Amino acid sequence: MTERSYLGEFELMILLAVIQLGEEAYGVPISRELEKHRGRDVSVGSVYAALERLESKGLVSSSLGDPTPERGGKAKRYFRVTKAGLRQVHETRRVLSKLWGELPELKGERI
The site for its own copies (CB under 8 A) is made up of 2, 5-9, 12-13, 16, 19-20, 37-40, 89, 92-93, 95-100, 102-106, 109-111
Alpha helix segments (H runs only) across the chain = 9-21, 27-38, 44-56, 83-101
Looking at the DSSP bridge assignments, the partners of residue 60 are 81
What distance, in Å, lies between the first and last C-alpha atoms of the chain? Answer: 31
Report the site for DNA in 65-94 (rule: CB under 7 A). 67-77
Residue 25 binding: pick among DNA, its own copies, none (C-beta 5-8 Å cut-off by kind) = none
- How near is the Cβ of 62 to DNA at its closest, in Å? 8
Question: What are the Cα distances from residue 103, in Å, to 5, 7, 40, 106?
Answer: 21, 21, 29, 5
Residue 39 in contact with DNA, rule: CB under 7 A:
no
Binding site for DNA (CB under 7 A): 1-2, 4, 8-11, 26-28, 41-46, 48-50, 53, 57, 67-77
